[in-house]
C-alpha cells in the first residue's frame, strides 16, 4: 500500500498513515512561476495499491488540479490500482441544474477524476448520496455519523438531547444520527431568499427544554447554522450545538460562529482548519483519521466497508 497526498490537508494524511503504521510516499508538489502545478513521486509505486489523499477544499480549483495531476502521476508510474481519497468532495453542491443554462459541475469533476486515472473513490458524507453515481467506478461514501454519535454519547444526558436538521434537505442525515443516539428529531424549515443568505421560517417539532444538536454536511458562511441556533433558542431550546462534517468556513464564517448563539460547533478534519477556525473558542475538531484509515485498510484487504456503519 502506498499513500500520497497533495497540499490540501497533509496533517490528516499523516494521521491516516499513523493509524495504518506506514509513512507517506515522498512526493514533490510544487508550482512553476505561472502557477502550473508540477508533481514528482519520489518512491517506486509500480504494482502498488495507491491512495491519493486530497480534499478539493479552498482553494478548490488548485486542490482539484493537484488531485488530478497526482492521480495521473501515479498512473504513469504504474501503480496497480489508484484510489482517490477525497475526504471533502468540493463542487458537490452543484449536483443538478438549478435553472436553465447552468452546469452540473459535480458530474464534470467526477468525470475529471475518473479520466485522470482513478480506479476507485473514497469520500465522506457526500452532499447528496446519489453523487456516487456520477463516478463510473466504485465509490465508497463514508459517514461521520458513528464518530459524531460516540462523541455525543460522551457529552449529553440521555433524554435531554434532540437532533435537529437545519433544513428540510438534511432530514435523512439527521434522522440517521437521531436513531444512533436514540434521540427525537426536529426540523428547521429554512427559506433561502437569495444565494448566500439564509432565513429561518419555522421549527417542526417541540424543542422546548431540549439540548438541540444541529447536524449537517457542510458549514460554509455559517448563515444556516447561526440562524437555526437563534430560532431554536427563541423556541425554548436549553442550548444549541452543531455537528457538521465539512468545515468549509469561508471568509468571516469562523468569526460569525464565535459571536453566535451556538454553544459549540464540532467539525471534522476533512478540511484542514484555518488559523481563524483554530482560534475560535467555540469550534472543536473531531478526528476522522481512524475512520478513513480503517476504510483504506479494508479497501486494500478487499474487506467490507459498509460493515463499519452497522
To the nearest whole angstrom, how small is the minimum distance from the Cβ of residue 294 to ligand R5P?
A: 26
Question: Distance between CA atoms of 69 and 5, rounded to whole angstroms?
Answer: 11
CA distances, 38 to each of 81, 183, 275 (Å): 22, 50, 27
Q: Which stretch binds ligand R5P (CB under 6 A): 20-28, 115-123, 214-222, 268-276?
A: 214-222
The maximal CA–CA distance of the chain, rounded, in angstroms, is: 61
To the nearest whole angstrom, how small is the minimum distance from the Cβ of residue 58 to ligand R5P?
A: 13
190 is catalytic: yes
The residues pairing with 190 across neighbouring beta strands, listed in sequence order, are: 200
Which residue among the candidates 153, 190, 272, 281 is catalytic per the annotation?
A: 190
To the nearest whole angstrom, how small is the minimum distance from the Cβ of residue 201 to ligand R5P?
A: 15
Return the C-alpha cell found at 64: 482539484
Expressed in angstroms, the distance from the first to the final Cα of the chain is 26
Return the C-alpha cell found at 168: 428540510
Given the complex with ligand R5P, which of 6 and 223 has the nearer CB atom?
A: 223
Q: Which stretch binds ligand R5P (CB under 6 A): 49-57, 64-72, 220-228, 302-310?
A: 220-228
Q: Which stretch binds ligand R5P (CB under 6 A): 3-11, 36-44, 48-56, 163-171?
A: 163-171
Contact status: 211 vs ligand R5P (CB under 6 A): no
Q: Return the H-helix or E-strand segment holding 74.
A: helix 60-76
**Phi, psi for residue 204 in degrees, rounded to 5:** -100, 110
Q: Which stretch binds ligand R5P (CB under 6 A): 20-28, 155-163, 211-219, 283-291?
A: 211-219
Question: Distance between CA atoms of 71 and 58, rounded to whole angstroms?
Answer: 19
Question: Distance between CA atoms of 51 and 300, rounded to whole angstroms?
Answer: 9
Question: Distance between CA atoms of 246 and 125, rounded to whole angstroms?
Answer: 8
Given the complex with ligand R5P, which of 68 and 240 has the nearer CB atom?
A: 240
Given the complex with ligand R5P, which of 2 and 246 has the nearer CB atom?
A: 246
Contact status: 218 vs ligand R5P (CB under 6 A): yes
Q: Is the peptide bond before 220 cis (omega within 30 degrees of 0)?
A: no
To the nearest whole angstrom, how small is the minimum distance from the Cβ of residue 198 to ligand R5P?
A: 5
Return the C-alpha cell found at 281: 473558542
Site string for ligand R5P, 59-98 (x = CB under 6 A): ----------------------------------------
223-242 positions binding ligand R5P, by CB under 6 A? 223-224
Characterize the bridge pairing of strands 2-5 and 49-53.
parallel
Contact status: 125 vs ligand R5P (CB under 6 A): no
Contact status: 214 vs ligand R5P (CB under 6 A): no
User: What amino acid positions are annotated as catalytic residues?
Assistant: 190
Chain contacts with ligand R5P (rule: CB under 6 A): 166-167, 169-170, 198, 216-224
Amino acid at each position: 500500500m502506498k499513500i500520497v497526498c497533495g497540499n490540501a490537508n497533509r496533517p490528516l494524511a499523516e494521521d491516516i498513515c499513523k493509524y495504518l503504521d506506514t509513512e507517506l510516499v515522498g512526493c514533490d508538489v510544487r508550482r512553476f512561476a505561472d502557477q502550473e502545478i508540477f508533481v514528482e513521486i519520489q518512491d517506486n509505486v509500480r504494482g502498488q495499491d495507491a491512495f491519493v489523499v486530497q480534499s478539493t477544499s479552498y482553494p478548490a480549483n488548485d486542490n482539484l488540479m493537484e488531485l488530478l495531476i497526482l492521480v495521473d502521476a501515479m498512473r504513469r508510474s504504474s501503480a496497480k490500482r489508484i484510489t482517490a481519497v477525497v475526504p471533502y468532495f468540493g463542487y458537490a453542491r452543484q449536483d443538478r441544474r438549478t435553472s436553465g443554462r447552468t452546469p452540473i459541475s459535480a458530474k464534470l469533476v467526477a468525470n475529471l477524476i475518473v479520466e485522470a486515472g482513478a480506479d476507485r473513490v473514497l469520500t465522506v458524507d457526500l452532499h447528496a448520496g446519489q453523487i456516487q453515481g456520477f463516478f463510473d467506478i466504485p465509490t465508497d461514501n463514508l459517514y461521520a455519523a458513528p464518530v459524531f454519535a460516540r462523541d455525543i454519547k460522551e457529552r449529553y444526558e440521555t433524554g435531554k438531547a434532540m437532533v435537529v436538521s437545519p433544513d428540510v434537505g438534511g432530514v435523512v442525515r439527521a434522522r440517521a444520527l437521531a436513531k444512533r443516539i436514540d434521540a427525537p428529531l426536529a426540523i428547521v424549515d429554512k427559506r433561502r431568499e437569495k444565494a448566500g443568505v439564509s432565513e429561518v421560517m419555522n421549527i417542526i417539532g417541540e424543542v422546548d427544554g431540549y439540548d438541540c444538536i444541529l447536524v449537517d454536511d457542510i458549514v460554509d458562511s455559517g448563515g444556516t447554522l447561526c440562524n437555526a441556533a437563534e430560532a431554536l433558542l427563541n423556541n425554548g431550546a436549553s442550548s444549541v450545538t452543531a455537528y457538521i462534517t465539512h468545515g468549509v468556513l469561508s471568509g468571516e464564517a469562523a468569526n460569525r460562529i464565535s459571536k453566535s448563539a451556538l454553544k459549540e460547533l464540532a467539525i471534522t478534519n476533512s478540511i484542514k482548519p484555518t488559523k481563524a477556525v483554530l482560534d475560535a473558542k467555540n469550534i472543536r475538531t473531531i478526528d476522522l483519521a481512524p475512520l478513513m484509515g480503517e476504510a483504506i485498510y479494508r479497501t486494500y484487504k478487499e474487506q467490507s466497508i459498509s460493515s463499519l456503519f452497522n
